[in-house]
Amino acid sequence: MNIPERLAQELHLHVNHVQNVIALLDEGNTVPFIARYRKEMHGTMNDQDIRQLADRLAYLRGLETRKEDVLRAIEEQGKLTQALRTAIEKAATLTEVEDLYLPFRPKRRTRASIAREKGLEPLAQALKDGSDIPVEQLAASYLNAENGVESARDALDGALDILAEDCSVNAALRSHLRALLRVTGELTAQGKEAEQTVYAQYSNFRSAIRRLQSHQILALNRGEREKLLKIDMECDEDAAQQLIARAVYRRPHPYESELSAMCADAWKRLLFPSLSRELRKELTDNANEKAIATFALNLRPLLMQPPIKNKVVLGFDPAYRTGCKLAVVDPTGAVLDTAVIYPTPPHNNIEQSMQTLSALCTTHGVTCVALGNGTASRESEQFLTDFIRESGLPISYMIVSEAGASVYSASKLGAQEFPDFDVSLRSAVSIARRLQDPLAELVKIDPKAIGIGQYQHDMPQARLSQTLDGVVEDCVNAVGVDLNTASPSLLEHISGISTAIAKNIATYREENGAFSSRSQLHKVPKLGPKTFEQCAGFLRVTESTEVLDTTAVHPESYPAAKRLLSLCGYTEEDVRARKLTDLDSRIKSIGKAVLAERCDVGIPTLTDIAAELQKPGRDPRDELPAPLLRSADVMTLEQLKPGMEVVGTVRNVCDFGAFVDIGVHEDGLVHISQLSNKFVKHPSEVVRVGDVVKAIVLSVDTGKKRIGLSMKNIKQSTMQTKD
């Protein structure tokens, strides 16, 4: 089976679509471009499907390359048989290939290799074959003082070492033992020092390997690295040794006692250590992939949270001794004013702080406050709610995660944007902009620093970055950006645009003024035809006289879009005036297939064009429920009581549940068992980051600052963004 056929089978796709996607990727097309503008070629696969295919394609191509290397290495040794070649060519995984290569891999000197040098390989075969000769007499016939075989015991031990090593490199046997270890294996952890740490639940831990959860594996690994836990693996040793025995001899056997001892040695000394290391690595790799997938799952809705449009926002970065930093930004994100107030301990300058805050809000017409959730956030929220209540101003606020704000503030980009601001004031601006447009602001920060997911610092960093960068790219291109206002950090996530080209676009704007059309992109240095093809559809030019420049219609489809308008009795001015209210009905009356043929496009492209013509410049985030804004109410952890109904925003989703911000500065945990009355395989089936949900308080531990919540038996309204 070739690679396209295998991918089609594994991913349940049509082989022609797979072949087309592979060709498009090999031609240098980006995933967002393929997903959006080449739908006829791939059966309307989404960006996540295409990325999954690309990842699997890379693995299978790597597998084929490794097979070629292994075949070449064995052939150079003169040991490549047709049966071995067939087995390697049919191997479905890298593990199978490496198992088959194991007997031929160059090795350091071992007990078995030393025994072979002493000429004991024939004795090993004789022991395996069996005979009527007593074992001591058989071994004595291989004595050779010059080679160091001075006794029958020496000869026998050497021959058994050879058989043990043969077992350890037997591909079929390793496969059977690997399966046994997965089924009967158990992982144990011990550590008295862990009892008073976050690893307390693992201080005396035992679990079947097949029942281990990915978050448990990652926690155990970290505890082991910190030398707080000692981890061991156990399995059914008798069953393992029986499998080895069956691979070597059949009972009854004249040398069964010696061979049985050899099987035990092969298992304990060679096979179990090797296979247990393999299995630990496999468990860790799988746990890492699940954690990375969860991270990506959380990042997507976080980036796609609806923006707070057309509002002046005040960013409030709380602190104690150094004072709370304030920054007012206009609806476009431009900074209007900044200030520092001292309402929190040790200063407690409430009156002066209220005067300063009042002046900022009234002068600039502030209607929303983005309050950071860091140090002194509780005291700052109390001050803020008192201010809203006493001032009577129509202001609402939202607690905004500060995760990564300090990273941005201290970054080269932060210094470039605000060279005259200190680090704290940059954080206040970032917090305000996160409420205004989460996507545009969060792309400035390394996704790993945004504060979602599990054990992100333990992940393979290259793989994590690749996955998260893919999510950012998909989100930015799904929304599209304004070519004349987008920052270079946002532009470089657009399909086909590199960091250098993003800077060139910004420089061109500075030197020549705003872009008046998409076609003007051709004048940007180093932005060639291929880059234009990849990026143009995702860049909007609201100032353009060409109305299609304000939509996600690709320039290559402009003739088709204009032909569609004409066939349906509309003009481009109707698009600008948003008068295409019955376009869908006109398309239906004529027939999609007929129109697609007459416009020389496929039905999927025709459908996309029609959607864009009806809502030029649309933002898919606008169709989601707005974030939960609070007024002058504030609750403390001590006020929470079991049985209370609360409303909150999902901040993080992990394997064992979801963390919900209910406005008391400590996120409550909805355990996976409390998410729904139905069985839930993974929390992402029910909630995602940004969802506004109702819950019942189950428990409150003020000492440990833990809140248990339940969403069972509660009818969720349309507040949830989950489809």
Cβ-contact 481, 494 below 8 angstroms: yes
Model pLDDT, residue 718? 46
Pseudo-torsion of CA 406, 411, 415, 416, nearest 10°?
Answer: -130
* Beta-sheet pairing, 396-400 with 368-372: parallel
**β-sheet bridge partners, residue 696:** 645, 710
Cβ-contact 411, 421 below 8 angstroms: no
Query: CATH classification of 637-710 is 2.40.50.140, yes or no?
Result: yes
Cβ-contact 203, 190 below 8 angstroms: yes
Distance CA 611, CA 618 (A): 10
Cβ-contact 202, 229 below 8 angstroms: yes
Residue type, 13: L
Distance CA 561, CA 574 (A): 13
Distance CA 70, CA 64 (A): 10
The CA-atom distances, in angstroms, between 239 and each of 210, 257, 263 are 17, 17, 11
Model pLDDT, residue 354? 95
Model pLDDT, residue 476? 95
Cβ-contact 104, 88 below 8 angstroms: no
DSSP class of 537: G
Q: Give residues with Cβ within 8 angstroms of 596, minimum separation 6.
A: 602, 603, 605, 606
Whose structure tokens read 């001590």? 638
CB environment 590-623: b (16+ within 10 A), e (fewer): eeeeebbebbebbebbbbbbbebbbbbebbebee
Cβ-contact 22, 31 below 8 angstroms: no
Whose structure tokens read 């009967």? 184
Cβ-contact 127, 133 below 8 angstroms: no
Q: What is the CATH number of domain 117-290?
A: 1.10.3500.10
Cβ-contact 700, 637 below 8 angstroms: yes
Q: For residue 309, is it left (φ>0), alpha (ψ between -120 and 50) or beta?
A: beta
Helix/strand/coil for 570: coil
Distance CA 584, CA 611 (A): 9
- CATH homologous superfamily of 478-623 equals Tex RuvX-like domain-like (1.10.150.310)
Every domain of the chain and the residues it spans: 3-104, 117-290, 313-472, 478-623, 637-710
Model pLDDT, residue 444? 87
Model pLDDT, residue 721? 42
Question: What confidence tens digit (pLDDT) does each residue in 173-232 have?
Answer: 999 999 999 999 999 999 998 888 889 999 999 999 999 999 899 999 999 999 999 999
Longest dimension (CA), the chain: 105
Distance CA 684, CA 218 (A): 19
Of 626, 643, 656, the C-alpha closest to 695 is 643
- How buried is residue 485: exposed, middle or buried, by Cβ count under 10 Å (0-12/13-18/19+)? middle
DSSP class of 630: B
* Beta-sheet pairing, 481-482 with 539-540: parallel
DSSP class of 682: S
Q: Which sign, positive or negative, has the C-alpha torsion 583, 588, 593, 594?
A: negative
* pTM for this entry: 0.84
Model pLDDT, residue 722? 41
Structure tokens at 702: 């003020």
Nearest 5 degrees, angle CA 630-CA 631-CA 636? 75
Model pLDDT, residue 720? 47
CA 485 to chain centre: 29
Of 164, 173, 168, 170, the C-alpha closest to 124 is 164
Cβ-contact 397, 630 below 8 angstroms: yes
Helix/strand/coil for 336: strand
**β-sheet bridge partners, residue 190:** 204, 230
Distance CA 429, CA 413 (A): 13
Helix/strand/coil for 327: strand
**Spans in the chain with pLDDT lower than 50:** 718-723
Question: CATH class for domain 3-104?
Answer: mainly alpha
Q: What is the DSSP string of 181-212?
A: HHHH-EEEEE-GGGGGSTTGGGTEEEEEGGG-
Of 265, 650, 647, 584, the C-alpha closest to 452 is 650
Of 483, 482, 612, the C-alpha closest to 547 is 612
The CA-atom distances, in angstroms, between 209 and each of 176, 179, 277, 720 are 16, 11, 13, 36
Distance CA 27, CA 8 (A): 20
Q: How many CB atoms lie within 10 A of CB 309?
A: 12
- CATH homologous superfamily of 313-472 equals YqgF/RNase H-like domain (3.30.420.140)
